[in-house]
């Protein structure tokens, strides 16, 4: 992105909110928004995709540990469970029902607080219980006691990092426990919105009631060339609901019809001129079991594909190849001090607030960077890059942007934000 420097100012005032130390770099971007570029490519890995499962299970563990630390000690203590790995099992598929021959395995890493103030915390039990509970509530055909084995591989953290949490309770801003950076943007392009909403539609309760034979392992890839869109979807059909190959292809055509109706109703609003839908592109009629995408449990993790934290969606729910991406995995990271998670979510929130709260802005990118040990309310870098509408002037927006960033990084706002983060109030993939 080419850019011209707009302003570098302190956010806030010397009195009042108390965030006068934040230096915000504001730059004006040239060029057009992503939605006006000639091509765009966006992907989303759905609920049952192995990478998404690894993210969501690791996050469930962090949320449960956070709640237990708060119950016992009044604050979230040192932990990071972001080194999760889902190892694929083995399965035999068959019409009217296959079977699992080897269970999946989920390895839960990496650090946690096992004891504080003389009180022991049953970390392994909490971690495995949280992951087991999430599976039971979100995956219709996985029986967590039979189909997946949980391996908590958590250990106490370094004394130096644990000391960050040692002082008085939850009512203070902590120092960052890592040097990292995160970027967020707003608004989503029409293509990004389409990919996000289509996966959510295919994994919605109402869709699964109407098409129970569709699995949760949904992957959506959209390629836009000017105003023409090609959507490729991968989604297995559950073998127990099908009697023969022919029935598979009948159901497949019904699902394609549903996808096309959804896109026409929700997204063909004048932006896209034409679209094409592909579902399960490897299918070949006449090859029997070798030519169709079947599943026993609804996820390819049952036998075909392993999953790892950080390889899937970014915190805004998509993988957008024309945007700058945060490489830090948010799932499982500590919600009180790990800026890889806090800044990852906050950067997108800030971009949205700047866009919605500032006149004359077309597109916003926010970059936040931390230095280990510095309070998370004092980022080493707070950068806002934006494209302005025709006629808008930099001096009209810089003051408002500084107010928005300064408020979000104030002690009161950050404490409230990290509390909601620890409760699982934000999507992390």
Question: Which string of DSSP letters, residue by residue, matches 321-367?
Answer: TTS----S--TTS-TTT-HHHHHHHHHHHHHHHHHHHSTTEEEEEEE
State the pLDDT at residue 76: 93
Residue 364 pairs with which residues in a beta bridge? 186, 386
Over residues 277-297, the mean pLDDT reads: 96
Of 308, 321, 233, the C-alpha closest to 40 is: 321
Residue at token pair 């991968």: 234
Residue 361 has pLDDT above 90, yes or no: yes
State the pLDDT at residue 170: 58
Residue at token pair 């983060």: 421
Over residues 327-351, the mean pLDDT reads: 95
Q: For each of the domains in the chain, give its residue range(s) and CATH number, in order of start.
A: 3-33+179-188+321-422 (3.30.300.280), 50-165 (3.30.300.10), 191-308 (3.30.300.340)
**Are the C-beta atoms of 327 and 68 separated by less than 8 Å?**
no
**Are the C-beta atoms of 236 and 294 separated by less than 8 Å?**
yes
- 321: its two tokens: 């190849």
State the pLDDT at residue 18: 40
Whole-number Å distance between alpha carbons of 303 and 87: 9
In angstroms, how far apart are the furthest CA atoms of the chain?
75
Of 329, 55, 22, 44, the C-alpha closest to 182 is: 329
Neighbours of 409 (CB within 10 A): 27
Q: What percent of the chain is predicted at pLDDT more than 70? A: 92
**Are the C-beta atoms of 67 and 336 separated by less than 8 Å?**
no
List pLDDT tens digits, range 143-191: 999 999 999 999 998 777 666 676 555 568 888 989 999 999 999 999 9
């Amino acid at each position: 992105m080419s850019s011209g420097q707009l302003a570098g100012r302190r956010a806030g005032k010397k009195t009042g909110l108390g965030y006068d130390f934040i230096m915000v770099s504001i730059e004006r971007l040239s060029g057009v928004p992503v939605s006006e570029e000639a091509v765009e490519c966006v992907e989303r890995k759905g609920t049952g995709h192995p990478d998404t499962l690894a993210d969501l299970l690791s996050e469930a563990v962090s949320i449960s540990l956070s709640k237990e630390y708060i119950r016992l000690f009044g604050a979230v203590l040192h932990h990071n469970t972001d080194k999760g790995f889902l190892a694929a099992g083995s399965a035999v598929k068959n019409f009217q029902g296959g079977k699992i021959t080897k269970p999946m395995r989920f390895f839960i890493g990496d650090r946690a607080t096992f004891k504080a103030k003389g009180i022991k915390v049953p970390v392994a039990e909490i971690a495995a219980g949280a992951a087991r509970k999430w599976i039971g509530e979100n995956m219709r055909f996985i029986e967590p006691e039979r189909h997946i084995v949980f391996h908590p591989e958590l250990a106490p953290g370094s004394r130096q990092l644990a000391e960050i949490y040692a002082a008085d309770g939850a009512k203070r801003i902590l120092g960052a426990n890592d040097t990292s950076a995160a970027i967020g943007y707003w608004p989503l392009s029409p293509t990004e919105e389409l990919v996000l909403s289509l996966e959510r539609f295919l994994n919605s309760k109402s869709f699964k009631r109407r098409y129970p034979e569709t699995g949760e392992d949904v992957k959506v890839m959209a390629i836009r060339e000017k105003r023409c869109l090609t959507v490729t979807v991968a989604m297995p059909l559950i073998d127990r609901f099908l009697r023969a190959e022919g029935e598979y292809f009948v159901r497949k055509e019904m699902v394609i019809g549903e996808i096309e109706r959804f896109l026409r109703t929700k997204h063909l609003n004048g932006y896209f001129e034409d679209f094409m839908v592909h579902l399960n592109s490897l299918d070949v009629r006449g090859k029997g079991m070798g030519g169709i995408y079947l599943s026993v449990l609804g996820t390819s993790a049952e036998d075909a594909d392993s999953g790892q934290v950080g390889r899937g969606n970014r915190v805004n729910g998509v993988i957008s190849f024309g945007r700058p991406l945060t490489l830090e995995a948010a799932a499982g990271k500590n919600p009180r001090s790990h800026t890889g998670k806090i800044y990852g979510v906050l950067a997108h929130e800030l971009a949205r607030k700047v866009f919605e709260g500032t006149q004359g802005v077309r597109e916003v990118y926010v970059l936040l960077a931390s230095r280990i040990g510095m309070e998370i309310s004092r980022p080493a870098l707070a950068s806002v890059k934006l494209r302005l509408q025709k006629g808008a002037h930099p001096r009209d927006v810089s003051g408002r942007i500084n107010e928005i960033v300064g408020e979000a990084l104030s002690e009161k706002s950050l404490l409230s934000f990290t509390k909601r983060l620890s409760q699982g109030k934000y999507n992390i993939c």
